[in-house]
Structure 1
Amino acid sequence: MEELTRIFSAFCALFIFVLFSENNFIVAKADDFEYEYVTCGSLIKLLNTRHNVRLHSHDIRYGSGSGQQSVTGVEPVADTNSFWQVKGKQDQPCSRGTPVKCGSTIRLMHLQTKRNLHSHTFSSPLSHNQEVSGFGEEGVGDNGDNWVITCSTTYWERDLMVRLKHVVTNSYLTVSGDVYGRPIHGQREIVTVPNANQNNFWKAMEGVYLKPTETSGRD
């Protein structure tokens, strides 16, 4: 089973690698650590280091709260619904391949549904913290899609644990510890909370990382 999972993950990475290469981007696969930064435009999976689940979404809506697309945490490594694209603010796009600065504001767009990682003051269904959802259409949403990368270095390094702080509510992306039943049995509840703690840490894992070209610098 582990071998099948590894092969499937490699196939997904290769497919995305080819897709990006056809658009003349320079990319690094998940197991290529020669380039150490998370960059604008990269496709990544985010691992919550405390609960060992990856940030996930799908075209299933909450039955309460906002009724928007649900965002969860899942354990399977090979799930293609766990890919997110790193983007700049809607009114301030970042250059593809540019390393993400710690303290900068980004958006994360879900690859499959093209909805942005979003939060607001709606109550989450299980723990009654603040709900996290997928919002917008084709990557276009609102200010509730903005997240600040909080980390201790100059740039977001791929082996670094970081926090994502929601700009509007001033709260941190986290795993509540609660587990859903049907129709998303076993998936973890993702919320935002006002306090920084061990449940807030995320790490960039599998994905396709854009490298800067010779003409793109760090801004």
Structure 2
Amino acid sequence: MIWISVLALVCLDITAGNEIVTCTSIIKLQNIQRGVRLHSHEVKYGSGSGQQSVTGVTNGDDVNSYWVILNGSNKPQCKRGEEIQCGDVIRLRHFTTHRNLHSHTFTAPMTGSHQEVSAFGEGGLGDDGDNWQVICSSEIWYKTSPVRLRHVVTSKYLTVPGQTFGRPIAGQYEVTAHSGISDASLWKPVEAVMFLPNNEDNSAHDEL
């Protein structure tokens, strides 16, 4: 409930500076190539897994594009404000539906050579298909550093291939997992509520 009150007060533009991405921070991730934000909602796929769909949207104001950064499902929960290092395995929990960013061997709904990405689990509980490794070029994930998210189970990268859906989510972009490495699999944090690293005052950055 603290996160909800903070989010109502704070929406930070974090494109400047070299701050560190930290555990339990609430972020939006923007795809470098397509310019869309990683998004989910209470709309299920009509094929494949039938799980909650994950898409990319251009609207920067939608609360359904917020995700909470947590440790991977096979590790103890990281502490609030703990830095995320390149190579760490994380989960991204959808802020409003509390399901985890997930992938598996189901075929993507439109791009048949890719695999489906969904939001999975109830109340944040899921499985190993929710684990994503942060791939970046520095030791620590900085907010100015684009990253790739590699699905641990299948070794595919979170990607926006460019296809868009029709109704009921017309114009939203398909999000998939794929082995190809390109700008379509690069992501950067944009709007966020960030918590400071443990060696600083452990509170929301610029909290009102």
Kindly state the Cα deviation for residue 214 of structure 1 after the two structures are TM-superposed: 3.9
Residue 166 (1) aligns with residue 147 (2) = no
Task: Tell me the residue number matched to 2:85.
Answer: 101
Task: Give the deviation of 1:17 after TM superposition.
Answer: 4.6
Report the 3-state secondary structure (helix = DSSP H, G, I; strand = E; otherwise coil) of the residue aligned with 2:6.
helix
Is 1:31 aligned to residue 16 of structure 2? no
Q: 1:14 to 1:133 in 2, by over 3 A?
A: closer
1:180 to 165, 184, 207: 165
**Structure 1 residue 215: Cα displacement:** 7.8
Question: Counterpart of 2:169 in structure 1: which amino acid?
Answer: I
Of 42, 56, 67, 1:84 maps to 67
Q: What residue is the counterpart of 1:134 in the other structure? A: 119
Separation in structure 2 between the aligned mates of residue 53 and residue 45 of structure 1, nearest angstrom: 10
Is residue 98–residue 216 contact of structure 1 (8 Å, CA) maintained in 2? no
User: 1:51 aligns to what?
Assistant: 34
* 3-state SS of paired residue (1:90): coil
Q: Deviations over 1:77-118 (max 9, x none)?
A: 001100000000223121110110001100000000000000
Query: Residue 23 of structure 2 corresponds to which residue in structure 1?
Result: 40
Among candidates 172, 193, 199, match of residue 178 of structure 2 = 193
Look up the match of 1:146: 131
Which deviations, in whole Å up to 9, do the C-alpha atoms of 1:108-140 show, x marking residues without a partner?
000000000000000111111100000001111
| Alpha carbons 1:95, 1:216 under 8 Å: kept | no
- Residue 71 of structure 1: aligned partner: 54
Counterparts in 2 of 1:152 and 1:61: CA distance versus 1, 3 Å = same
The change in CA–CA distance for 1:176 and 1:45 in structure 2 (over 3 A counts) is same
Counterpart residue identity of residue 28, structure 2: K
Q: Give distance in 1, aligned partners of 2:144 and 2:18.
A: 11
The secondary structure found in structure 1 opposite 2:103 is strand
Compute the displacement of 1:212 (Å): 2.3
User: Which has a greater percent of helix?
Assistant: 1
Ranges of 4+ aligned residues in structure 1 off by more than 3 Å: 31-35, 213-217
Partner Cα distance (2:199, 2:85) in 1:
19
Aligned to 1:60: 43
Q: 1:66 to 1:40 in 2, by over 3 A?
A: same
Identify if the C-alpha distance between structure 1 residues 119 and 29 changes in structure 2 by more than 3 Å, giving closer, same or farther: same
Candidates 206, 210, 213, aligned match of 2:191: 206
Q: Distance in 2 between matches of 1:103 and 1:213?
A: 19
Q: Deviations over 1:151-207 (max 9, x none)?
A: 000110001110000000100000010000000000000000012112100001101
Distance in 2, matches of 1:34 and 1:50, equals 22
The RMSD of aligned alpha carbons is: 2.2
Residue 16 of structure 1, aligned match among 6, 21, 29: 6
Q: Say if 1:116 and 1:34 are closer, same or farther in 2 by CA, change over 3 A.
A: same
Deviation at 1:31, TM superposition (A): 3.2
Structure 2 Cα separation of the partners of residues 51 and 91 of structure 1? 32
CA contact (8 A) 2:94 2:101 kept: yes
Deviation of 1:16 (Å): 2.5
Match for 1:73: what amino acid?
G
Q: How many residues align?
A: 197
